[in-house]
Amino acid sequence: MAPPPRLLRFAEDPEAFIPLGPADERLEDPRFVLTLAEGGHWWSATVRRVRLRPGEVAAAVAEVRALVAGRGRDAAAWSVGWSATPADLIERLVALGMDLETHPSDAMVLTVPPAARPSTLEIRATATAEDRRAAAEVAIEAFGFPPEAAEEERRQARRALGPGDLDERRAHFLVLEEGRPIATGRAWFTPWGAYLGGGGTLPSARGRGAMTALIAAAWDEAARRGTPALVALGGAMSAPILRQLGFRRVGTVWHLADRFGPAAGGPG
């Protein structure tokens, strides 16, 4: 059975629908959704659910750049799914100076419990400063962050925990093996299911079921809330794991980096 239309829309553009963090902002427009998350990573400003007419693309890009620059940023990440318009949107964005990632993501949906696999790993939601710092260090090594991005990740982890950080609509998981943090990932819970993102495992611990344990925990929590469905964007490494656990590919999402800088009106 095909997933319901709203779940497909969620899978195509999850960041247009997920709950916001305490320092996040979302600007919703019929033409696009711009989300500005905490931090200075270039991907912390994201553009999703793009619906433009051919003659609107250049003006919309200029408008988004001005909005992003007005909030002290000089780059944004654009995602183009199968429903985005116009049909040649990717080519138009590249012509306006954006860099297209070589490999797109598979938009994937899970609507049945994931394939069960025995595991001795511990998984918990981060609720302390110590756990947040540990998750940050795992992410830095797992994704190979460059120094500037790594420092930004550590800065966010050092920020004092506030009431908004314990929002029950969001969970930041930490996976441990014999007490050692080896993987991390996030889940955002919505009325249509949970979106999984930011999942990474230490290179030395890969192949031992960390992502399987994380997905199982997210599924259990989504099912407990009465929304038994998971969506994820799978790359070259994660898509095969997701397929083995029962996820189905429902479409392709392309990603572009718009590093427009001061020349486009960004901060100097």
Judged against a pLDDT cut of 80, whether residue 116 lies above it is answered with no
Rounded Cα–Cα distance for residues 158 and 19 (Å): 22
Nearest to 238 by CA among 145, 143, 162, 161: 143
Query: Distance between the two ends of the chain, CA-based, in angstroms?
Result: 52
Question: Please, which residues bridge with residue 258 across strands?
Answer: 76
* pLDDT per residue as tens digits for the range 6-21: 999 999 999 999 999 8
pLDDT of 168: 83
pLDDT of 34: 97
Rg for the chain (alpha carbons), in Å? Answer: 18
DSSP assignments along 213-253, one per residue: HHHHHHHHHHHHTT---EEEEE-TTHHHHHHHTT-EEEEEE
Nearest to 183 by CA among 208, 146, 220: 208
What is the dihedral sign for C-alpha 196, 249, 43, 45? negative
Name the 3-class secondary structure at 130: helix
* pLDDT per residue as tens digits for the range 204-242: 999 899 999 999 999 999 999 999 999 999 988 889 989
* pLDDT per residue as tens digits for the range 71-91: 999 999 999 999 999 999 999
pLDDT of 161: 66
For residues 187, 32, 9 and 77, what is the CA-based torsion angle, rounded to 10 degrees? -50
* pLDDT per residue as tens digits for the range 136-183: 999 999 999 989 889 888 988 887 666 556 678 989 999 999 999 999
Question: Please, which residues bridge with residue 239 across strands?
Answer: none
Find out whether the peptide bond into 54 is cis, omega within 30 degrees of 0: no
**Mean pLDDT within 244-263:** 90
All domains in the chain, ordered by first residue: 5-105+253-264 (3.40.630.30), 122-228 (3.40.630.30)
pLDDT of 160: 63
Retrieve residue 114's tokens. Answer: 């994931």
pLDDT of 127: 83
Q: pLDDT tier at 266 (50, 70, 90 boundaries)?
A: very low
- Give yes or no for a contact between 246 and 115, defined as CB atoms under 8 angstroms apart: yes
Per-residue burial over 245-255, b = 16 or more CB atoms within 10 Å of its CB, e = otherwise: bbbbebbebbb
Q: 260 — alpha (psi -120 to 50), left (phi > 0) or beta?
A: alpha
* pLDDT per residue as tens digits for the range 42-61: 888 999 999 999 999 999 99
pLDDT of 42: 81
pLDDT of 230: 97
pLDDT of 60: 98
More confident residue, 37 or 39: 37
**Mean pLDDT within 17-35:** 94
pLDDT of 264: 43
